Amino acid sequence: MLDPVRVAKDFPILSKGDLTYLDSAATTQKPVQVVDAIEDYYYSCNSNVHRGIYRISEEATERYEKARENISQFVGSRDPAGTVFVRNTTEAINLLSYTLGRQLKAGDEIVLSVMEHHSNMVPWQFLREKGVVIRYADIDSEGRLDPEDLKSKIGRKTRIVSLTHVSNVLGTVNPVSELAKMAHEASSLFIVDGAQSVPHMPLDVKSIDCDFMAFSGHKMLGPAGIGVLYGKPELLMRLPPFMGGGDMIREVRLDGATWNDLPYKFEAGTPNIEGAIGLSAAVDYLRNLGMDNVRRHEMELMDYVMKRAGEIEDLTYYGPRDPKVHGGVFSFNIGQIPAFDLESELNSRHLKISSQELHPHDISSYLDQSGIAVRAGHHCAMPLMTRLGVQATSRASFYVYNSRDDADKLFIALENAKKAFAR
């Protein structure tokens, strides 16, 4: 079992006792173990990797490559050549849209869903200029992917299906293994946005059978500026490079160049060495907690949160009611919320938050006065907001250091906010 109070003691920012941090879907706090690993690298072997023929550079290279192996194993990838270090999920998906996009032609189709984060939408939209068509699968009234609608969007021309594993707004956990099957039956590639799943549940890229998966270190207790693109090595091998420069080449002549082996072909320039080492320490930390325990804790907490939410009049929350298919994010609005509009995106676009509602920004500022940090806004999912018929939501997101006590603080403060704004 995971004891969140005990876990929180490893996080200096939380142990002061004046912060209830409920914004881990945006970025997580960092335990001392991660900070120590980065500090130790700086103090004992800071140097560049893959080039120095001297002791500390060899040590730095070894730590960097060990980090790659460790992180590969964490997501079930046996071959570290399929683990490319990038800055974050956003960069990983841009890498894919650029490299895969060069191989697409006018009329080819890409299937996404309306619940995608902008980073799994905008990079694909770039390809419209070459005539690529983007199709969006819809959601049902509980914010689950509509499987029939998805099936109808995947067809003969589909080349890529790219979907989030867990929605950063709805919390919906999508059945990615089934989705992979659906995509592969149509001879399409299948990409998973794992930004909100890799940090929160046991996961194995081999059993999902995704072709590519993207995730970010800063959402899983690691530092910012380091993320991963996992890819099946045989597929990565066939892609052209993304950025050109040092380390990604085998040989450069005045009239051209040849490319380095995987994964270096995609890691141009000096990489984020300390970031990789920090992320590896974060992976050790999570493994130590046990990913089954992490997920179980989250499900129990969400079950509690949803029950508490039901006690607050005028509170609407989004996403599946079953904690088994709901991640650690809890998005909500308070007040007269426009009805969920299944019919028309156009209608919902004109629905504004009414004056009787508490605006998510007001809720967030009010909660901040009690030391509670939640997110307010569109959460980089504007098309989803439109689909839900709202401009914005408040979002409390929970992680390994959050307890029922944090949820209680949130709901007490929300009741107080309602009273304060009613005056």
Would you say 133 and 157 are in contact if contact means Cβ atoms under 8 Å apart? Answer: yes
- Residue 45 neighbours by CB distance under 10 Å: 18
Residue of 90, 94, 118 whose CA lies nearest to 377: 118
Nearest-approach distance from CB 173 to ligand PLP, in angstroms: 12
SS3 208: helix
- Report the residue number, 164 or 364, with the smaller CB distance to ligand PLP: 164
Residue of 213, 110, 101 whose CA lies nearest to 166: 213
Residues at the interface with ligand PLP (CB under 6 A):
25, 88-90, 117, 119-120, 164, 168, 193, 195-196, 216
Nearest-approach distance from CB 336 to ligand PLP, in angstroms: 28
- Which is the catalytic residue, given 380, 408, 409, 411? 380
Which helix H or strand E contains 94, and what residues bound it? helix 89-101
The burial of 334, by beta-carbon neighbours within 10 Å (0-12 exposed, 13-18 middle, 19 or more buried), is given as buried
φ and ψ of 64, to 5 deg = -65, -45
C-alpha–C-alpha distance, residues 110 and 5, integer Å = 44
β strands within 195-277, DSSP E: 212-216, 227-231, 249-253, 256-259
- Report the residue number, 217 or 233, with the smaller CB distance to ligand PLP: 217
Nearest-approach distance from CB 31 to ligand PLP, in angstroms: 19
Nearest-approach distance from CB 90 to ligand PLP, in angstroms: 3
Nearest-approach distance from CB 93 to ligand PLP, in angstroms: 8
- Report the residue number, 60 or 112, with the smaller CB distance to ligand PLP: 112
- Report the residue number, 217 or 389, with the smaller CB distance to ligand PLP: 217
Would you say 169 and 331 are in contact if contact means Cβ atoms under 8 Å apart? Answer: yes
- Report the residue number, 193 or 267, with the smaller CB distance to ligand PLP: 193
- Active-site residue 210, yes or no? no
> Which are the catalytic amino acids?
380
